[in-house]
Structure formats: structure tokens, C-alpha cells
Structure 1
Amino acid sequence: MGDNLKINEIIDINENLHKLKIDELKIGMILGETINVSEKKILLKNDTITNEILEMLQNKETLEEVCVYKTKKYYNSDFENPENESVENKDYISGYNDKIKINVADTVAILEKTFDSISANLNQIFYKLGMLKGSNIDEIRTISKQLQEKMTDLNALINAIVFHGSGKDSIYRHGINVAVLSNLLGKWVGLDEKKVNLLTYSGLLHDIGKTKIDSKIFTTNDLLSEEDFNIVKSHPLLGYNIVKEINFLDKSVAQGILMHHERLDGSGYPLGLQDDNISQFGKIIAIADVFDAINSNRSYRKKKAPFEALEIIKKESFGKLDYKYSNIFLHHMFSYYVGKDVVLNNNKVAQIIQMDINDLDRPLILLEDSFIKLSLNSDLEIVEFVL
């Protein structure tokens, strides 16, 4: 990108922290500290300031200054009018974000190894439960705690889920991803700590019923026959019957498992429940489940286009998935897409600058020396993300 600064030309980030008053903050700046906006919402160090985050900071009455990464160039930039941004400032942003992305990539690699280990432990718990050998609440609590302890770097965490999905592992790694996303959505909608923990258990165990079904159904390269699909549709009930037998486990966990494929219009399964007859956990896990399933490779299909999972959640929020929860999920996920590198259909790499809920796959991007609104440019489209 023009005369981009190289990583070693950028001032060390630990020496590049400055306090700015709230009214001096600009969209696109990078937070240099973690901020508790409320009991339910935390903004993390290295988060990019979006419209939504800026509003949160402006609405926190006790907050007067915020620590951000900046240099003279960065401070003088006008992020409110990105299309008028100077080439010099664009180059700084690009070079600085390169340094941040290297750290994220390293963290994602570590997370992937941790998830592999947790998947193996989850496999053992599922086996014991499926064989009725008495896996108990303590084992579920231990593996959930292990997972939640790794949820400190949300940027890297969501990168791992968005970039890697759950692959062909539609039970164990999928369960981990769904548990993580359910945990986050639970916090975003304001659940208390106890409910978030129970929701995480339910997410981890939501597909345990699949272990009672012939594995060939889940590994075939062909589309399922109607008969096989009807067998698959039994897995929520099978899982419910397994988990409800765990001593001292709150019934909300088993209900979330039973209802994660139910839909508000009654088109879901296994019971065809509607609206308020679907549990809160069932509604939350449904959103997480759809996102990871669409965003992952499976034996019978490749993962969908970069924004298709978000598009499907938005579409199904009108009648099938809970609208309020879906809307909260989408808006929070946007902040993690901003700043990501993407490959375009012309094989060039660009950076996402701003998302639009009304045109999810057509964000504002930075390509070489120009800000481009894809919504106004039909020749370009995003093909894939780059980690």
C-alpha cells in the first residue's frame, strides 16, 4: 500500500499510549486499555473503536479519558470521514494493524491447540455419559472452567472461530465453538454469571445426542436422504435423555439441548415448539449453532462465503431465530470483523473498515490507497478472510 511503514519502523506500542478525552476519540483508533463499560460489557485492550463502541464510551458518565495507541500521524487523522483520509495515515493504520495481527495470529495458534485438548476431554465425557458410566456435574464444570479460562482475548477467540470453524468435527469441536459463542451471547444479553455458566454447559453438550447415531451419517459426502435426516433430527431428544440423568445438573441445561433446533415459527424439531415455549438457552444456542455450522467445512459441503453465516442469522431473525438475541449477536460480531484483512475477487488484499447491517457482505474497505464502499462497487466482492 503506497509507502507503507514496515513493522520495525513503527514506534513500540508500549511507548505509544496516550490519554485522550472522550470527545477526542475517533472511529478506527485502537484501545490501549481494557474498560468496564458496565457489569455486563467489557471493552478489551486492542479493540478497534467502532460507532457502537464510541457511543458506549460517550454514554459512560464516569469516564473522562481513554487510553489509546496513537502517534502524531494517527492523532491527526479524520476517521469520521475515512474516504478523505490521507495516504500517509492510511499507511500508518495498515502498518500498525499488521503488528497487532501478528500477535493475534500467534494467540489463535495457541487457542487451536487448547481446543484440540478440550475436544479430547469432551470426547471422553460424552463416551461415559453415552455408556451410562456416570460422568457427573464436576467433570462438566471442570471442562467448562478450562474453556472459559481461555476466553480472555476475545479478538483472538473470535478469529479462531471465524477463520477455522469446527471443520469436519460436528460434535466435539463444534460443541466448543457453540459453547464459546453461547457464553458470549449470554453475557451480551445480560445473563448473570450462574446462568452464563449453565448456558456454557448446555452449549458444550448440545450435540451429545449425535453420539447415539451411526457416525456414517455425519461423515458421508452425500446429501442426507429423508430417512437419514429424520434420524439426525432425533439427536436433540437423545441428548436431552442423556443429560437429564446427570445428578445435580440444573434442568435448564437439558432444556437447551432439547430445544436448540426449535424455531419460533414452529418449523424446528424435535417438538415443533413456538415462541415462548422455547427456552432461553434453546434460543441462544440456536444462533451460535447456526453460525458455526454455516461457517465450517463439513464432509458434504465446504464452508459458506465469508458473511453468509451472518446473513442467514439476519434472515432467520425474522420468524425463526429470536430477533432480539440475533440483533445483539450481529452488532457485537461486527466489531470483530472491523480491521480484518480480506481477499477480493481481483486477488488483492483489502481491510474492512466499517460494517453495515443492511448490506453485510458489502462493507467499507481500504484497498491500497483508497477507501471503497463495496455497496457502490458491483465489480468487487470479498472472497475470503486472511489471518
Structure 2
Amino acid sequence: MVYSKSYSVKDIVPGMTISKPVLGNKGRVLLGEGIILSERIIDQLVNWGIQQIDIQEINQTVAAHVEDLMECVRQTKENYEGTLDSLKTYFEQTRRYKKLSVQSLRDLADNSILQLVNTSGIISYLLMLERKDDYTFHHSLNVSILAGVLGKWLGITSQELNDLILAGLMHDAGKALVDINILNKPEKLSGKETEIMQYHPVFGYELLKDSKELPETVRLGVLQHHERMDGSGYPLKLSGGQIHYFGKVIAIVDIYDAMTSDRVYKTKADPFSVIETLASEMFGKIDAEFCSVFLQNISNYLTGKFLRLTDGRVAEVVYYDNVSYSRPVIRTGDNEFIDLNKNKVIGISEVIDV
């Protein structure tokens, strides 16, 4: 059986697993549950002034523990796939009747998706998913989950968190009104097709504008998720403070999920390449504060994972320096430590264990 035990930070050691979120002074999540502690993370806890932390304790045989983990994965898979099937039905009805079943999606967000948001290890689960088919539905569900996870890391709670999850779920609902041939076109879109596709946030907003039960924040998240801090986004070319924070949150996780997904015309990128892209977008394109929280937490989930390097060797992620989350310090099979931020010759070809 797995249970939680409170430890003094001075007594914790690398390899322990966090059982409850570690909160900062303002209630913001500094570290999520399910993260395996490394030396770097322990140093961060000390620097943050955290004195107590809740750790997973296992009181059972290894075989029984593995069985529990497999059951957890099975339940997560069942919940995810059931939610995905419901989402397909609602979005197909939207395409057919040009009307969105807002209450059905609200029920989905408040129950099944919130449960997935609160599932330990959900970040790793999403990275393991094979999803070459039905990209639009997978993407809408994943963005909803990731928006909720990032919202928790930012300290968003209660109804506001539920609204953010719903906005993430419906962020691409306007694509149901885009011609299916444009939506599923495997080649590069023409200029006119791109213009139509970039109008999907407006289509989504139009679908929601008469839903009086929805707060305006949800509609703004749908309308603004492709806006950028420097005004280079679409559809309204908003910038900085003109963009609601729901739009800023969804923008970050939208990029992350799109890049870590297999598409008909594109193989998914490894998480470190995605982290590098997000880091480069942080100053000018996407909200730097929100993105730094996201990158820090995502990188913590990748500590202890195994990579295949461009020279063919397999190595373990040991920790990150303060310069780059995309090029960690690694340990190879022959116990050689390599700082990839200093050694630019070696790169990461794939993540073997996520």
C-alpha cells in the first residue's frame, strides 16, 4: 500500500517521490505530486525555505507495488479514452448542427478531466500516448488537462481552475466550423486556407457568445489562445496586458502539446526540443512568468529519465544547471557525467523512458 509521510527537508534524499504538491507562500505550486527528488530539486527546496514535505511511503512487496502502478495506469487510460470518446461525440455534433453543447462539455471538464488533472504522473502519461489518429480530439483533451495542471502550478484553485480547464477543452472548438479538407490537409496550407484556419478562434468565440452561463474569461481564453505578447499573434493582434491570462496559459500548453504529438505530416519532437522552443519564445512571444513555471515543473518530471544520445549511447538525466532546461547534465552507462549545455557536440535524439 502507498501512503504519505511528512519529512523534514533536511532528512530527504534523492530518489524519494513527492506525494502532495509543495506550495509557496502565495499558494502557488512549486513542485507537483509524483515528482522524483533529485539533488537539484532538494537544493531548490532549501533555497525556497521549505521545511516540511510529504513523501510517498510504500508498505508492501515490490510485486504488489508494481501491480498497483499498473492498475493506476489502467484506470487513467480508461478515464482518458472514455473522455475522448465523449469529446468526439460533442464535437461531431457541433460540426453537424453548428452549435456547441456547452453544458455537456462543462460536465466533462468538471468531472472526468478534473480527475485526470489531479492524477499523479499525468504528464508522463500524456508523453507516452500514441495518437496519430484523431489529432484534433486528442489535442483538445490534452490542452485541457495541461491547462489545468499549469493552472494548479500557478496557484489557481476552485471554480477558476474549472473554468480554465473548460477554456482549454474548447480552445479549438471553432475548428468544427472550418472546412474538413482544410483541417485535415496533410500538405502546407495555401495563403487563403491559412487565413481561414487562423479565424478558428473567432469561430469558437461565436459558438460561445450566446452561452449566458459561461463567464467571459472562458470565451476570452478561446478567442485569445493564439495571441502573442509582442502583437504578432492572431486573430486580433493583441499584445501584453491586452491578453487575458487564460489565453496566455492556453498558448503555452497548446504549443507544448502540438510539438509533443505525432501528426499525419510530422513526427513528435522530444520533450527537450519542445522545452528549448518554449524557452526561446519566453521573451516576446509568450508570458515569461507563466512559461518559467511550466518549464521548471516539466523539467522536474524529466529528471531521472533515460535518453538516447546522438552518438548512440544511453544516459540518465541527473540535474539541470541554471542556464538551460533543454540541455541537462546526464550520466552515461559508464558513469561519465556530461553537461550538455557545455558540450554542444552531443545532442538528444530521443527520450526512451518518460
Name the TM tier (shorter chain): 0.7 to 0.9
Q: Does the Cα contact within 8 Å between 2:34 and 2:120 map onto a contact in 1? A: no
Structure 1 residue 45: Cα displacement: 5.9
- Give SS of 1:183's match: helix
Give the conservation status (yes or no) of the 8 Å contact 1:20–1:66.
Answer: yes
Contact 2:18 2:37 in 1 (8 A): no
1:188-234 Cα distance to aligned partner (Å, 9 max, x none): 22223211110000000000111111222232221111111111101
Please list the CA deviations of residues 238-259 of structure 1 after superposition, one character each: whole Å capped at 9, or x if unmatched: 0110022224111111110000
Give, in angstroms, the shift of residue 14 of structure 1. Answer: 6.8
Amino acid of the structure 2 residue aligned with 1:281: F
Structure 1: runs of 5 or more not aligned: 1-12, 71-95
Query: Do the aligned residues in 2 keep the contact of 1:220 with 1:300 (CA within 8 Å)?
Result: no
Partner of 2:206: 241
**TM-score (ref. length: structure 1):** 0.78
Aligned to 1:56: 45
- Corresponding letter in the other structure for 1:343: R
Deviates more, 1:100-109 or 1:244-253: 100-109
**Counterpart position of 1:339:** 304
- Please say which of residues 187-196 and 366-375 is displaced more in the overlay: 366-375
> Which string of whole-angstrom CA distances, capped at 9 and with x for unpartnered residues, describes residues 325-362 of structure 1?
11111111111011112222243332111134633332
Measured after TM superposition, the shift of residue 128 of structure 1 is 3.5
Please point out which of 235, 260, 264 is paired with 2:225. 260
**Percent identity at matched positions?**
27
Q: Deviations over 1:292-348 (max 9, x none)?
A: 111112222222244121111111111110111111111111110111122222433
The alignment's TM-score, normalised by the length of structure 2, stands at: 0.85
| Aligned residue in 2 for 1:87 | none
- Structure 1 residues 106 and 358, CA gap change in structure 2 (3 angstroms): farther
Evaluate the alpha carbon distance shift between residue 382 and residue 249 of structure 1 in structure 2; reply closer, same or farther with a 3 A threshold: same
- Helix, strand or coil at the partner of 1:31: coil
Structure 1 residue 386 and structure 2 residue 332: aligned? no
Counterpart pick for 2:150 among 152, 172, 185: 185
Q: Residue 23 of structure 1: which of 2, 7, 10 is its match?
A: 10
Contact 1:108–1:159 (8 Å) recurs in 2? no
Which of the pair has more CA radius of gyration? 1
DSSP-derived class of the 1:269 partner: coil
Pair 289,268 (structure 1): closer, same or farther in 2 beyond 3 Å: same
Unaligned runs of 5+ in 2: none
Matched residue count: 343
Structure 1 residues 68, 180: closer, same or farther in 2, change over 3 A? closer
Q: Determine the structure 2 residue equivalent to 1:47.
A: 35
Q: CA, structure 1 residues 205+46, in 2 after alignment: closer, same or farther (shift >3 Å)?
A: closer
Alignment of 1:196-211 (within 5 A): 196-211=161-176
Deviation track 1:136-176 (CA, whole Å, cap 9, x = no partner) reads 42x22221111111333332x10122233754533211011
Residue 308 to residue 102, structure 1, CA distance change in 2 (3 Å): farther
Residue identity in the other structure for 2:257 = D
Q: Tell me the amino acid that sits aligned with residue 11 of structure 2.
A: E
Instruction: Confirm whether residue 153 of structure 1 aligns to residue 119 of structure 2.
Output: yes
RMSD: 3.2
